[in-house]
């Protein structure tokens, strides 16, 4: 992905809200020096310059704009992106709630009316033979049917950007059985039929399935379940944030994973990640946002 973005020849302008933490500056420094990003750092000028020095970045590489507090920094970053001055907005050290409030602002924000906002991560893990796209690690606690459909669409759109024409979408549950005791399995059944009837973008969808059926061909063989996923899923859609979030953190912590994630549903790419994310993951998030900001015909 990073290679694709680097070689595209495009340079994306990123507005960063309260850009004064080491990982954010470090990841942007790399993106800027690799030539695919320009960064507008919004926040306390002195602190930004100080942070740049600490990471060994030349502050002259960035445009720095003074903002009094983190709330103002967030709304300025969003405003610039909404007006087209910048292409991408990124969260720095500002609190997630303040940042998202600016993103979701009805007048000045980046969320079209009635759009579902969700989060998709691309995860690289040594134990799986390809990237896995997972959703939703961060935004919707208990998605309803319409939100799950939107989540699937965002993940499919992202997978397409990675060159996967017809991604396999696994709707993750605790087992493959449909049961009214597990309401998510009901939504999943409905989604499969929607995919079959062309109401969801082209994909191979099945669910409920457990993680083994989704990602392990051997389990599919042993269980004898007839699933088109065949243990080769590209996308895992989880029933709740509390299922998906520990899954990705487990992969980071115990599975030597790296991730790139972003907010979906907004009119422009929004980079938002946990403050504790590594510099490399943040760099990947920036690269992902640039990939998603590229014109579709460049893919």
Q: Which residues bind another protein (CB under 8 A)?
A: 145-146, 176-178, 180, 186, 188-190, 192-194, 196-199, 225-226
Q: Least distance from C-beta 112 to another protein, angstroms?
A: 21
CB of 125 or CB of 149, closer to another protein:
149
Q: Least distance from C-beta 169 to another protein, angstroms?
A: 14
Q: Least distance from C-beta 238 to another protein, angstroms?
A: 18
Give the DSSP H/E element, type plus range, for residue 37. strand 37-43
Q: Least distance from C-beta 146 to another protein, angstroms?
A: 7
CB of 115 or CB of 190, closer to another protein:
190
* Residue 8: Cβ within 10 Å count: 17
Relative to beta strand 258-264, strand 118-124 is: antiparallel
Q: Least distance from C-beta 225 to another protein, angstroms?
A: 8
CB of 79 or CB of 206, closer to another protein:
206
In whole angstroms, give the CA distance from residue 267 to residue 1. Answer: 21
Taking each helix axis from N to C end, the angle separating 22-33 and 279-293, rounded to the nearest 10 degrees, works out to: 50
CB of 194 or CB of 280, closer to another protein:
194
Q: In angstroms, how far is CA 197 from the centroid of its own chain? A: 27
CB of 230 or CB of 293, closer to another protein:
230
Structural contact between residues 177 and 208, judged by C-beta atoms closer than 8 angstroms: yes
In whole angstroms, give the CA distance from residue 181 to residue 208. Answer: 13
């Amino acid at each position: 992905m990073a290679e694709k973005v680097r070689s595209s020849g495009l340079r994306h302008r990123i507005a960063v809200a309260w850009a004064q933490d080491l990982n954010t500056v470090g990841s942007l420094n790399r993106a800027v020096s690799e030539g695919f990003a320009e960064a507008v750092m919004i926040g306390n000028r002195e602190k930004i310059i100080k942070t740049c020095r600490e990471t060994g970045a030349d502050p002259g590489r960035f445009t720095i704009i003074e903002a009094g507090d983190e709330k103002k920094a967030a709304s300025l970053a969003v405003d610039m992106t909404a007006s087209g001055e910048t292409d991408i907005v990124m969260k720095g050290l500002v609190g997630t709630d303040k940042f998202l409030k600016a993103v979701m602002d009805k007048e000045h924000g980046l969320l079209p009316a009635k759009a579902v906002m969700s989060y998709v991560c691309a995860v690289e893990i040594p134990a799986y033979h390809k990237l896995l796209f997972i959703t939703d690690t961060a935004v919707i606690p208990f998605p309803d049917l319409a939100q799950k459909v939107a989540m699937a669409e965002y993940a499919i759109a992202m997978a397409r950007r990675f060159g996967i024409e017809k991604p396999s979408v696994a709707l993750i549950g605790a087992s493959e059985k449909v049961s009214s005791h597990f309401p998510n399995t009901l939504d999943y059944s409905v989604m499969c039929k929607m995919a079959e009837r062309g109401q969801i973008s082209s994909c191979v969808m099945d669910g409920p399935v457990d993680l083994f059926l989704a990602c392990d061909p051997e389990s599919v063989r042993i269980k004898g379940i007839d699933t088109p996923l065949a243990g080769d899923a590209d996308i895992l859609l989880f029933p709740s944030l509390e299922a998906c979030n520990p899954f990705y953190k487990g992969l980071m912590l115990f599975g030597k994973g790296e991730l790139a994630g972003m907010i979906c549903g907004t009119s422009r790419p929004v980079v938002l990640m946990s403050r504790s994310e590594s510099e490399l993951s943040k760099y990947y998030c920036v690269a992902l946002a640039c990939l998603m900001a590229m014109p579709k015909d460049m893919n």
